[in-house]
Chain A
């Protein structure tokens, strides 16, 4: 690089050195790779992803196979880390079953297998929901910010009203509308198609829609703000001046310039989506049983936490690790792409 000479000497001839050009994105990824916490997060997510994809090969049993004789069966090592769980042989109540690595639940299903399959739900939600939210929020934000005027006013006031909704109640209401509404539909109708699609996805589709409908507002606000700041730039004025159609201006000029912060915001929001799904499954409005979801497993296990803490603690740990990983990765991405924000908030 030309850092050796600090002065520009017009009499001297300069040769442009063949430095590898680095784009902003490449720079950002370099910064990201140096961030240890983010890399650990990425690794954990990758492992989770592999586990989720190859669940049928990794899991020792099927997630819904019931072993009647092994209900609440627990391996020895688990009874050792949870001192309250005394085996029957030592005067306690716990059936020792070494065949189940983390134990079996109250219906005699292998906990480990259920946790492995549960990764599928959490990861799918963590990966798909941001896209849905991004699309929804971006469309509304672009419309509001670019079109401006009364439409902007109406949309933003509506966003304000949505913020006044108690989110948890709204999502419970929406999920009930979907779940209970879908059960009364006639075959052939539009809604029926959706409900079949949802059933074929194990109940995930409605979760996506439910989370999407309750959390697009942040994204829309952010997108609108970005559009407003970008819209005044000269290149937009120039594009308008040469008569570019609105669609071209929006998708070629505005969108590429506002997408960065939006993607970062979505990445940071992933843990909250995973928590949403866990919450929905916790209250029984999430995935359809017997599909295992960590939130649902926690809900099932927590009632027996005094006798069999492993039923709730292990899925809770799995959920915790995944959310932690996404948090680390999100923080790292933000720091990498927007170094001015480092250490803020």
Chain B
């Protein structure tokens, strides 16, 4: 098991490295730089700006120094400088020395938002996106799984048909459709909840539903199919034959096995929730990470793109690794090596 986890972690590092490399290359293929905007800067100014952000150095040095900033942790002592280059995402005060601090993950300054670093942007905006993502994720589990169970247990009844019709509907409706329609009917027409914004619980309802709907439906369908398959197994018949009450058959024998396939989709689902917030955030005016997805690319804000891609990729890979590990616990038949 330990070996398995170590191997997965090594693989994760490699994946993140390749992802960052591909992103870096793609970014630099796009002509122009962060300072070649609509207003043309004098050549001297441009050269100075490029020199300040070290954009005049060879590409491989830029890439390596970026990697160094992100990967290599530092322990600093004494007073911290306010210089933009020394802004780390993770700052842990250590209990010894003169203000000794463990610092890790320096994504560098943002080129478009003057005076802010990528770490600042993450600190301000990422928690909002994560709240939204996690709430939608929770919604899809806590609605999707029970819906699937009810549907499977009441197979071929009207409850089943209704639930599955709703599920098909949910899967067919992407966020881009769901969000405006929800916003109009519940926000504008019925005035039940605010049309936009973030922070108050009633502002969260619509965005979370819009983001979570399709995955709720997906999980409901998956749960139903998986449970139906398990219910046909021999050990369920055995459990019933030995006189176990139905509730225990379902809870102890069927459900436990039926949920294994659900766990596999949870990793990608969580990742989707965290990455797919862009449309919801735009439509509902939520100040999350979403807008940086697009503005950083179109504005050639290299550090922000790299940081965002790396961070999201890290979530994705981490989620998948956790799922893999969880899987071996849930299903002992799966060998880790």
Residues of A within 8 A of B (CB): 82-84, 160-161, 163-170, 172-174, 176-177, 180-181, 183-184, 271, 275, 278-279, 282-285, 295, 298-299, 301-302, 305-306, 309, 312-313, 316-317, 319-320, 323-324, 327-328, 331, 343-345
A305 engages B183 (CB within 8 Å): yes
Q: For A84, what are the chain B residues with a Cβ–Cβ distance below 8 Å?
A: 188-189
Nearest B residue (CB) for A173? B26
Q: How far is the CA of A4 from the CA of B23 in the complex (A)?
A: 68
Instruction: Contacts A161-B18, A166-B275, A181-B31 given; indicate if A305 touches B312 (C-beta within 8 A).
Output: no
CB contacts (< 8 Å) of A176 on chain B: these are: 30, 297-298
Chain B residues, CB < 8 A from A284:
294
Measured in the bound complex, the distance between the Cα atoms of B298 and A161 in whole Å is: 25
Size category of the B interface is 35 or more
Distance of A324 Cα from B166 Cα, bound (Å): 12
Q: A residues within 8 A CB of B153?
A: none
CB pair A168 B276 closer than 8 Å: yes
Interface 9-residue window, one of B68-76, B138-146, B170-178: B170-178
Q: Which B residue's beta carbon lies closest to that of A309? A: B184
A-B contacts, 18 listed (Cβ < 8 Å): A164-B313, A164-B320, A166-B308, A166-B309, A167-B275, A168-B293, A169-B308, A169-B312, A170-B309, A181-B30, A183-B31, A279-B176, A283-B282, A299-B282, A320-B172, A343-B225, A344-B229, A345-B225
Q: Does B271 contact A (CB under 8 A)?
A: yes
Assembled-state Cα–Cα distance A298/B280 (Å): 13
Q: Which of B18-32 contact A (CB under 8 A)?
A: 18-19, 22-23, 26-27, 29-32
Interface pair B30/A275, CB less than 8 Å apart? no
Q: Chain B residues near A317 (CB, 8 Å)? A: 177
The complex places the Cα of A283 from the Cα of B277 at a distance, in Å, of: 13
A-contacting residues, B173-208, CB 8 Å: 173-174, 176-177, 179-181, 183-184, 188-189, 195
Give chain B's interface residues, CB within 8 Å of chain A. 15-16, 18-19, 22-23, 26-27, 29-32, 168-169, 171-174, 176-177, 179-181, 183-184, 188-189, 195, 221-222, 225, 228-229, 271, 275-276, 278-279, 282-283, 293-294, 297-298, 305, 308-309, 312-313, 316-317, 320
A230 CB → nearest B CB, Å: 25
The 7 closest A-B pairs by CB, nearest first: A166-B312, A275-B174, A184-B31, A166-B275, A312-B180, A316-B177, A327-B172
Dominant SS among interface residues on chain B: helix
Given known pairs A319-B177, A343-B225, A345-B225, the reply for A283 and B184 (CB within 8 Å) is no
How many whole Å from B174's CB to the nearest CB in chain A? Answer: 4
Pick the contact of B173: A160, A279, A305, A323 (CB < 8 A). A323
A275 to B171, CA, bound (A): 11
A312-B172 in contact (CB<8A): no
Please give, as numbers and ranges, the residues of chain B lying within 8 Å of A295 by CB-CB distance: 176
Q: Given the complex, which residues of B lie within 8 Å of A285, measured CB to CB?
A: 294
Of A161, A323, A343, which contacts B19 at CB under 8 A?
A161
Q: Name the residue on A nearest B228 (C-beta).
A: A343
Query: Which residues of A sit under 8 angstroms from B308, Cβ to Cβ?
Result: 166, 169
Complex interface: chain B residues within 8 A of A161 (CB): 15, 18-19
Query: In the complex, which of the residues B19, B31, B221, B320 contacts A165, with contact meaning CB atoms closer than 8 Å?
Result: B19
Cross-chain contact A165 with B294 (CB below 8 angstroms): no
A319, B293: Cβ atoms under 8 Å? no
When A172-B294, A173-B305, A180-B31 are in contact, do A278 and B225 touch as well, CB less than 8 Å?
Answer: no
Bound CA span A313–B229, Å: 40
Contact A172 B297 (CB under 8 A): yes
